Structure 1
Amino acid sequence: MGNCAVGILMNPASVAVIGASEDQNKYGGRLFRMLLSHGYRGRIMPINPARETLLGTKTFAQIAATPEAPDVAIMAIPQPQVRETIEACAARGVKAAIIITSRFSDAGPEGAALEREIVAIARESGMRLVGPNCLGIISPANRVVLCSSTALAAAGLPLGRVGFVSQSGALMGTIFDKAKELGIAFSHVISVGNQADLELSDFVEFMIDDPATDVICTYIEGLKDPRRFAQVAARARQAGKPWLAVSAGRTRAGAKAAFSHTASIAGDRAVFEAVCREEHVTLLESPLTMMALATSLAEHPKAQIERIAVFSPSGGEAALAADEIEAAGLRMATLSDSTREQLSTWFAPSQSCNPVDTGGRTVGDGPDVVGTAASVVADDPDVDALLFAITTSPTLDRLAADVADALSADASRVPKKPALYVFETGRLADTARSTLRERGRWFSNNLREAVEVLAAWRARSTYTSSRRAERLEHCPREPHEPPAAGVYGEQGARRLFERYGVPVNREQLARDENEVVALAEAFGYPVVLKVVSPQIVHKSDVGGVRIDLYSEAMVRLACRQIRADVAKRAPDARIEGLSVQTQFKGRLEMIVGARRDAAFGPIVVFGAGGVMVDLLPVRAIARAPVEPDRVVELLRRLPLWPLFEGFRGERLDLSGVVDAIVRVSWLAADLADRDFELDINPLMVAGDRCCAVDGRLRIGE
């Protein structure tokens, strides 16, 4: 039903404008004029009881007086009138309504209660709502403008292949206006406002199926239904529709929790970003970078970007561009001997390479020189994309247009390969900018922004989809007695880890010093002692751990030191005893944790652990369960990865680490309906094996 309603909203046969007027200082006045002036082909029914006509169009006193039930009603009326207007629309059989009016859930509890009421009224009749507190809809693909933004006052409604859904109406209008200036155009643009009924995912789902949209862009402030977001993202990925997003809250600290490191290092934002990476939703920091990348992807959806060729009429600008490209993790393309030989027809030998300084021509300023050279470079198999860093020059007015025309493969004007244009000059380039707009070509006025587009494209190019995770041998299956709710210290947690096949060292609780010695003798030296107390989370911080104990004397001394240190640093802690453990030494300490994320369900997190858990903050996060190849892919992105490849000698036990992480992810998946947190910290990793030597677990009801 959501998709059907969105389709009607995007291309209604008839529209009622409630609150229509001729006053362009009012929302209703601008809504009415925009709908008329941008070529809408359906029937317009302005609702205004005080006028018989508006701008030559017959009006109706109320929605009940319309000759037919409008497909869509759009209203910009005072908040107290919205409820009765929604009732009237529902009674008239309106299929969908757009509520521009604000002061609902955006204004506090009373507004939120009223918002719930109008949604209930609409749903009872089958009517769907957009908003409240939104700016409406712009659909260039259908010549439909149901929006009051002043950005629409200018003539023209350029049509592109990019769809944009925004939770901010003001940002939607700003981006629409700025995009036109930079040669970027849209298929549909939607402001969803409070998402009281139809939400962002409804419109994204429409665009996945929409033949007029090739790339989807979104501005996200909060997800109404995170699980559905992930499902729709998977649909977009499977359909081959790139989804790009800018999300507010990038710098917001994640949730902190005293119980586990996992909750603090895998907060809500980090999990959201991980889900986006899994489903190939590309997160960007700038809306304009997002739009620029979307425009390029719409033309070259399967392009893999890494190797860049640079053209500039300035050797200095070309050098700066090369620096920016390398700094962004891209690389300058190495031109083939054949390409360089052809370039030498027009340029000096030192300029017949990459970057190409077009100011170093050995021939005249013929209009086809740079364009022809660019076409030759575009044919080079080592070149993935071209960047034109354009500065002031005698041929400035022609250069960009000549290149754009030369690169066009056919009448569609789509270039052979992605081509990005940067104007680092001011008004002198206005004519060149206009010629690019006329050709539907995107450009930037900032070199770094253009390189950010290429870098984000490269990041998308490295994506690999994951296979479905298969349960490993010795991971328990249901029916199996589920673990009881409660807090599990190291002893209880390690028993559950061991049940899932995670390797653990030998351990037992001792109540007094003599029992500690007896266990140490039975286990064999060396041993480790750890304080056991429900009040102590970080044992090392209070002097509660001793390692490298090779004799009875060392064990007895360690017992006394631990009790003395803990009494001094955590005097209120209740000590249940000391954990005696066989000592396992490795070259790397990792943390492997898991928790249930309230939005996306069970997740697993891993990275540097032990005392380095707070100093090396880069972590990998994935939804649970996770399959082994995905774990390896995520490990490769961590700073600790070189240790698995044999950095300074022995390789570490990669297969054992991957196996342990996968098993923890299955434990997390089996706890999906419980609120839980767990840490294995550290997972000690040696050359031939790994071992969980400490852990904690909390399971809710």
Structure 2
Amino acid sequence: MADVLPSTSASLDVLLKPQSVAIIGASDDASRIGGRPVASTIAGGFKGRIYPVNPKRPTVQGLKAYPSITDVPEAVDCAIVAVPASLVEKTVADCAAMGTKSTIIFSSGFAELGAEGAETQQRIAAAAQNSGMRLIGPNCIGAFSVSAGWFGTFSSVQASLRLAPGKTAIISQSGAYGAHMFYMAQRRGVATDLWVTTGNESDIDVAEVIAYYAEHQDVSTIMAYTEGVKDRDRMCAALDLARAAKKPVIMIKVGDTDVGAEAAATHTASLAGDDAIYDALFKQYGVYRAHSCQEMVDVAYACQTGLFPKGRKMAIQTVSGGIGIQMADESVKNGLEVPAMPEALQQKLLGLIPYAGVRNPIDITGQVLNQPEVIGQGIDLSIRESGCDAYATYLASAPQAPGLKDFCLQTFKDLREKHPETPMALSMIATPEIIADYEALNIGCFEDPVMAIRAMAALSQFYETFERGQPDTPSALPAGVSEVPDRLVSEAGAKAILASAGIPVTRDVLTESAEEAVKAWHGIGGPVVLKIASPDILHKTEIGGVLIDLNDEQAIAEGFEVILNRAREAQPDATIEGVLVCEMVSGGVETVLGVTNDPALGPAVMFGLGGVFVEVMKDVTFRLAPFGIDEAHRMIGEIKGRAMLDGVRGAPPADVKALAQALSRLSVFAAENADRLETIDINPFVVLPDSAVALDAVIVPKATVLAGDPAVR
């Protein structure tokens, strides 16, 4: 951690909790970019010292102004730079010379515009680094702390404040999106204090701010927006800190990158994509990936209760059968279970409402208008006897209906008194004042019943992440492991490399004549597969370069010649090493293992079932390399076809432990060859009842892609 992302507390405290600030380019007009931070900070009740810098005015908004930062009487904790791009470099140099501890650069016109702007930005960042001054931006809209009264931003967020400072913190690479996150959080009842936008990230980036929030005692939940990760190790270290501190991270990631899917024509590369690899990062560190700002703030809102379900069993009670079905569907889609209520409990519920649906969801129907007491009775019984972990209730507009309003509120007061630690969510339509009464009971309220379920699923995910703690350490590779070469190798070469890393492969013999092939068959002692061995022919079946289930001398001798002739006819210029004689493996479950090397996040391991599952359904999952056995098991559990490995239609269970071990070893091999590797495809990797084995493999070195080798086109 120390090497990748050193402790950030002291250097970012001066940015977010400054005692003295300067606004360079300060305006007397509170509506202008240089005027807004002055006005907002004054209005925010900032207790520190404010130094407006404007050479054309003696005062700015009632405060004494200074001609230059060099005229300010002290080395300030934070300086805002709101001057034209052409003046920024000189201004930052003056700040550094004056001992300014941190700088926020509003100005744009740097790396986002091209090479010349990027060079200027690099010089600015170097000047700051040489002086020890921290820097946010350029091209950002600032940072603030509500509790400190410091609004170092030209956004009008201070005027939109509705809530007292809370323990949710925001970090956004995009300034405008960061402001939108804050506005929506305020409207949703998510109490926020710290807020940072990073812009071009010439120094401070999203990862460092996440790490700061993870270490900050007054932050409990982190909302983040990013368009990409520039340094994988820094981001992983930051997310690891948040996980260790048991602080939920809710993140939106947008934008696409080219992960080389066209250059390396393998299953792994074609199934990988920017989203898939970022999903791997988020799954690995327990980050909840939101796909809209509304979803993000709803999950952050749910986190404020501090009540995380200790399992995935969901009990649903509803006044509408249709809504109950929708909530049940959404539960299953989000990995929650909706178990049938125990028979004894069902009978007790029927005793309350003879015509209710009582399996789960519990549909108390419109009878609630005549028997409002069944709301509390039904939930109380469920909490005491269902064995579920979380409880969601849909009440439509009942909590604000005349004659029901006070009764409903008292019902949930009684429930909360009886069950103070039980995670509960309500979906209802009510005024903000009524909703506030339920929120005071630590019960989350959602207009949309789907979002109520999704939020509870997120809380369950966070609990699991925090409970499992630090990941297990992957085992080291065996001594003498071969590294990825600079050129393409045939299947024989690829299997030899993988075998050296401890990944099981079939027994194979590379032969150069029909006689050698027959001899190899005798040595294997059973049916074999013949394959063309050529580093220039990666897709052997496309040219008829594979013959299966051969088990006599004549078939093998003839097959040897057939395969050679087909290869020479299809690709006359291909280098032919010979024919590979492989043991024939029958039975088991076909899976696919792979590696793709993402430009931003590095090598990621893919796993999925073979056949239609990968070809059509694309039922795969990814993880960043390296990882241990426990993470491999979580990967295996994520795919939709997981039950195939447990044995279906009388088939014995597959050796999942051997599969997990192979995934972990592949991840370590990929991590150690990150600078040399483009992709790996192990397809199929057959998982048998008592073992697992690779039947075929392709390794594409990075050097061959860079060189434009036609074999990987």
- Is the Cα–Cα contact under 8 Å of residues 490 and 538 in structure 2 kept in the other structure? no
Q: Tell whether the 8 Å contact from 2:9 to 2:215 is kept in structure 1 after alignment.
A: no
| Number of residue equivalences | 692
Letter in 2 for 1:232: A
AA of the residue aligned to 1:41: K
Match of 2:206 in 1: 200
Q: How does 1:312-391 map to 2 (within 5 A)?
A: 317-318=323-324, 320-332=326-338, 348-350=353-355, 355=362, 357=364, 359-361=366-368, 382-391=387-396
Residue 475 (structure 2) pairs with residue 471 (structure 1): yes
The two structures have a TM-score, normalised by structure 1, of: 0.86
Unaligned ranges ≥5, structure 2: 1-6, 704-713
Question: What amino acid is the match of 1:591?
Answer: V
What corresponds to 1:45 in structure 2? 51
Q: 2:276 aligned with 1:270, yes or no? A: yes
Distance 1:411 1:525 in 2: 69
Describe how 1:188-587 pairs up with structure 2 within 5 A: 188-249=194-255, 255-258=261-264, 260-267=266-273, 269-300=275-306, 302-304=308-310, 306-310=312-316, 317-318=323-324, 320-332=326-338, 348-350=353-355, 355=362, 357=364, 359-361=366-368, 382-392=387-397, 395-396=400-401, 407=412, 416-423=421-428, 429=431, 432=434, 443-463=445-465, 464-465=468-469, 467-469=471-473, 471=475, 475-477=477-479, 485-567=486-568, 569-587=570-588
* Aligned counterparts, 1:84-99, within 5 A: 84-99=90-105
Q: Distance in 1 between matches of 2:322 and 2:617?
A: 38
Letter in 1 for 2:457: A
How far apart, in 1, do the equivalents of 2:632 and 2:532 lie? 33
Task: Report the 3-state secondary structure (helix = DSSP H, G, I; strand = E; otherwise coil) of the residue aligned with 1:275.
Answer: helix
Alignment check: 8 A CA contact 1:308 1:387 kept: yes
Q: Secondary structure at the match of 1:387?
A: strand
Question: 2:595–2:681: 8 Å Cα contact kept in structure 1?
Answer: yes
SS of aligned partner of 1:27: coil
Q: Distance in 2 between matches of 1:564 and 1:170?
A: 63
Q: Closer, same or farther in 2 for the Cα pair 1:380/1:105, shift >3 Å?
A: farther
CA distance in 2, matches of 1:394, 1:498: 65
Q: Does structure 2 retain, via aligned residues, the 8 Å contact 1:370–1:402?
A: no
- Please report how far the alpha carbon of residue 128 of structure 1 lies from its aligned counterpart in structure 2 after TM superposition: 0.9
Q: Give 2:145's aligned residue.
A: 139
**Residue of 684, 692, 695 corresponding to 2:694:** 692
Which residue number in structure 2 is paired with residue 608 of structure 1?
A: 609
Conserved 8 A contact 1:486-1:699: yes
How has the CA–CA distance of structure 1 residues 402 and 289 changed in structure 2, closer, same or farther, with 3 Å as cutoff? farther
User: Is residue 162 of structure 1 aligned with residue 163 of structure 2?
Assistant: no
Instruction: Give the CA deviation at 1:222.
Output: 1.2
Q: State the TM-score, normalizing by the size of structure 2.
A: 0.85
The question of whether the paired residues in 2 share the 8 Å contact of 1:14 and 1:72 is answered with: yes
In structure 1, C-alpha distance between the alignment counterparts of 2:119 and 2:402, rounded to whole Å? 58
SS at match of 1:617: coil
Q: 2:606·2:620 contact (CA, 8 Å) conserved in 1?
A: yes
Match of 2:111 in 1: 105
User: 1:627 aligns to what?
Assistant: 628
Q: Distance in 1 between matches of 2:393 and 2:63?
A: 50
Residues in 2 aligned to 1:179 and 1:470: alpha-carbon distance in whole angstroms: 40
**Structure 1 gaps, min length 5:** none
Counterpart code for 1:692 = A
| Closer, same or farther: CA 171–688 of 1 in aligned 2, 3 Å | same
The answer for the alignment partner of 1:653 in structure 2 is 655
**CA distance, structure 2, for counterparts of residue 698 and residue 358 of structure 1:** 61
Displacement after TM superposition at 1:640 (Å): 4.1
Give the Å deviation of 1:83: 1.4
Report how far residue 211 of structure 1 moved: 1.6
1:501-529 alpha-carbon deviations (Å, 9 max, x no partner) = 43333323333444434544554442221
Task: Give the whole-Å Cα distance in 2 for the aligned partners of 1:438 and 1:52.
Answer: 50
2:392–2:424: 8 Å Cα contact kept in structure 1?
yes
Structure 1 residues 112 and 439, CA, compared in 2 at 3 Å: closer, same or farther? farther
Alpha-carbon offset, residue 395 of structure 1: 3.0
Measure the CA separation in 2 of the matches of 1:620 and 1:392: 41
**Contact persistence 2:259–2:598 (CA under 8 A):** no
Structure 1 vs Structure 2 CA RMSD: 3.8
Cα distance in 2 between the residues matched to 1:197 and 1:136: 14
Match of 2:65 in 1: 59
CA shift digits 1:617-637 (9 cap, x unpaired)? 223433444433332332222
Give, as a single letter, the amino acid of the residue that structure 2 aligns with 1:168.
Answer: S
Question: Deviation at 1:12?
Answer: 0.7
C-alpha spacing 1:562/1:169, structure 2 compared with 1 (3 Å): same
Give the distance between the partners of 2:369 and 2:625, measured in 1 at CA. 61
Shift of 1:245: 1.2
C-alpha distance in 2 between matches for 1:396 and 1:254: 58
Instruction: Map Cα deviations across residues 342-371 of structure 1 (whole Å, 9 max, x no partner).
Output: 9899x7444596546485236688xx9967
For 2:148 and 2:376, the matched residues in 1 are separated by: 35
* Range with greater deviation from structure 2 (78-87 or 552-561): 552-561
What secondary structure is seen at the aligned counterpart in 2 of 1:299? coil
Going from structure 1 to structure 2, the CA distance change for 1:2 and 1:446 (only over 3 Å counts) comes to same
Q: Is the 8 A contact 1:256 1:267 kept in 2?
A: no
The more displaced of 159-168 and 176-185 is: 176-185
3-state SS of paired residue (1:189):
strand
Segment of structure 1 superposing worse, 184-193 or 142-151 = 142-151
2:156 is matched with 150
Q: CA deviation at 1:166?
A: 0.6
Contact between 1:684 and 1:693, CA under 8 Å: does it hold in 2?
A: yes
2-side partners of 1:53 and 1:440: how far apart? 48
Distance 2:640 2:420 in 1: 38
Deviation digits for residues 633-681 of structure 1, max 9, x if unmatched? 3222224432331211232233433343344344335435543543332
Contact map agreement 1:399 1:432 (CA 8 A) in 2: no
The 3-state SS of whatever aligns with 2:594 is strand
Contact 2:308 2:423 survives alignment (8 Å): no
The letter for the 1-side match of 2:691 is: R
525-534 vs 349-358, greater mean Cα deviation: 349-358
Q: CA deviation at 1:227?
A: 0.5
Describe the superposition over 1:529-576 as per-residue Cα deviations: whole angstroms up to 9, x where unpaired.
111222211101111100111223323443344345445544553433
> 1: CA distance between counterparts of 2:415 and 2:399?
29
